Amino acid sequence: MGQNIEDDSKMTEALRLLFTGMGTVFFILILVVLLGNLIIRVTNRFAPVPIASAANSDGNNSGIEPSKLTAIISAVEIATQGKGKVISVQKHDK
């Protein structure tokens, strides 16, 4: 009977350590996400990058057809829900 009490005590201790560890990891991950989002928002607010639209460039698009350039810009706008901008498009030779 004494063995059963020791086993229960060990199991209780193991579960307590398990949940404490998992809770700590979950808390740290939440902090990382929240602080990462805060840093991104602060950086975007106080240090914005000047954006030059690819559609308003001087016509030097490295040989890319205007219809393809329009499709690229549209795809980026749809994928980023209007938050992303195409700064430049370059054609690379294989």
**pLDDT per position as a tens digit, 3-62:** 777 888 999 999 999 999 999 999 999 999 999 999 999 988 888 666 655 444 545 556
Is 91:63 a contact under the CB 8 Å cutoff?
A: yes
Q: Which residue has the higher pLDDT, 94 or 64?
A: 64
**Tell me, what's the pLDDT at 27?**
98
| pTM, to two decimals | 0.47
In single-letter form, the type of residue at position 71 comes to A
Alpha helices in 2-65 (DSSP H): 2-46
